[in-house]
Chain A
Amino acid sequence: MATAILDEYLGAALQSPPEGRVSNDVELEIMRYLESEFEDSGIDRCADIFALGYVNSLFALELVTFVERRFDITIGTDDLDLDNFRSVEAMARLVGTIRAAAGR
């Protein structure tokens, strides 16, 4: 029993924390959201999340809603492109572009 608990502890420690797998704070926020959404702590920042399974148009809307609210930005019509939401990296890049354009 004690061994099982230790294994579980070590297993958790061995899995790299999201901090080690992202390049900035925006990516970290998005990564944390997706990891709770998928109950998966091993998502790659460049992985195509639309290929992870059971993803539909409603989930795309959920991502838009999340990004707009969490980062307090408005995504323009032309940026409402599925490719901008395909990965952690793509969403973070979109946030950065919109923030830069708004001078923030």
Chain B
Amino acid sequence: MNALAQDLRRFAEDHAAAAGEWDRAGALPDEVVRAVAARGWLGAAVPDTHGGRRLDPVSFGELCAGLGGVCSSLRGLLTVQSMVADVIARRGEDHHRAWLPDLAAGRVIAALAATEDGAGSDLAAVGTRVEPVPGGLRISGRKRWVTFGETAGLYLVLGVTPRGPTAVLVPRDAGGITVEPVRGQLGLRAAMIAHVTFDGVVVPAAHRLGAAGAGLTHVVAAALDHGRYSVAWGCVGMARACLDLSARHAVARSGRLAQHQLVRRLVTDMVAGVTTARLLCEHAAGHPRPDRTMLAKYVAARTAAQVTRDAVQVLGAAGCAPGHPAERFFRDAKLMQLIEGTDEICQTHVCDAEFRRHATRGAA
């Protein structure tokens, strides 16, 4: 077992039992955020030269799976922090010193503000305006379902200029930002989700990370690709956790449950699903292409949905009890089929990549 795996196991031993309480309370305690930050995990996408501890793709995946097996909301924190840090590291040279060390240390939490009332899967339809004004850029619009939007100190905002979409870094203290926490949603209940309104918020022009017109296709698309990779591995972690719970339950009480063939079929399909999803995530790690990431996320999210559902089935009443990890993972898993690209968006893109290989053959 490598050092990261050992750290993750110790972290799970210390914190997994409390995850049901975070879910019930609808908040991730500060001490848990500090515990994750103290292990350097919030700097997993920050280069070492800026105070981070950048992990290779497989190690980052294992980290997402490890935290995903404890709590999806916690994995969500790692996801948003890493996706924003990665974008700043790659596309925001002028902002390295201002943000990367704070993000790596967890002194600042970051969030991606993309979704709107009229722009979910179709992010090209965002209406948040980014306009040049004396002294910088003015941002006006209402973002919905911002993961860790309640506690974020820095937002990466997807907006639109007359020339096309763009991405802008907006510090929480810029003035004109209203945060409405969301509570009681189906899953990810401890992910500090909020609706965030930007009411004429002004930031320096240098806070624009994407060239106008390239914001969606590159900066935000790259962030979402990073997020998708992280979610995919998180799904492997939650599916694995539910498989473990199911198998342990089946062999308990003299193994009476384990003797039922139909239970064995459910558990066998869990093993098949978890193994397949993990292999696709490892494949995506070795082939950093957005369509491979999408395929891994698509399969892993569907696997998580099925495995968590079957875990509740195998566990019976025990798995339905308030605070039981199976019922929490079951609710969270449904959201995995929606966030960072719905199943249907994944199907569209994966299929496009396949058709591309056949459509032009023979054409000059």
Contact = CB atoms under 8 A, between A and B. Distances in A.
B320 interface: no
Nearest to A41: B361
Interface stretch (B59-67, B214-222, B240-248): B214-222
A58 B290 contact: yes
A54 B352 contact: yes
Contacts of A69: 288
Interface in A48-104: 52-62, 64-66, 69, 74, 77-82
A61 B217 contact: yes
B50 to A, nearest CB: 15
A42 B356 contact: no
B291 A82 contact: no
A51 B216 CA distance: 20
A25 interface: no
A77 B214 CA distance: 8
Given A59-B352, A62-B291, A53 B360 contact: yes
A58 B357 contact: no
B91 interface: yes
Given A38-B360, A42-B364, A55-B356, A80 B211 contact: yes
A80 B352 contact: no
A102 to B, nearest CB: 14
A65 B288 contact: yes
Interface string A33-48: 0000111101110000
Interface residues of B, number: 34
B39 interface: no
B209 interface: yes
A84 to B, nearest CB: 10
B289 A65 contact: yes
Nearest to A47: B364
Given A44-B364, A77-B210, A81-B211, A57 B356 contact: no
B218 A61 contact: yes
A40 B289 CA distance: 19
Contacts of A56: 348-349, 352
Contacts of B211: 77-81
Contacts of B217: 57, 60-61, 80, 82
Given A58-B291, A65-B288, A65-B290, A38 B357 contact: yes
Report the interface size class on chain A.
20 to 34
Contacts of B290: 58-59, 61-62, 65
A44 B360 CA distance: 12
B268 to A, nearest CB: 34
B356 A54 contact: yes
B134 interface: no
A40 B361 CA distance: 5
B98 interface: no
B3 interface: no
Contacts of B222: 61, 64
Contact of B361 (A39, A66, A80): A39
A81 B357 contact: no
Given A81-B211, A81-B213, A61 B221 contact: yes
Contact of A77 (B209, B288, B353): B209
A74 B360 CA distance: 30
A19 to B, nearest CB: 18
Contacts of B361: 38-40
Contact of B357 (A37, A74, A82): A37
Given A61-B221, A62-B289, A77-B210, A39 B352 contact: no
B214 A81 contact: yes
Contacts of B352: 54-56, 58-59
Given A52-B359, A77-B91, A77-B209, A60 B218 contact: yes
Given A53-B359, A58-B352, A80-B217, 15 more contacts: A37-B356, A44-B364, A52-B359, A53-B355, A54-B352, A54-B353, A56-B352, A58-B294, A59-B356, A64-B218, A65-B289, A69-B288, A77-B214, A80-B214, A82-B213
18 contacts: A37-B356, A38-B359, A40-B363, A43-B360, A44-B364, A52-B356, A53-B359, A57-B221, A58-B294, A58-B353, A61-B225, A61-B290, A65-B289, A77-B208, A77-B210, A77-B211, A81-B211, A81-B214
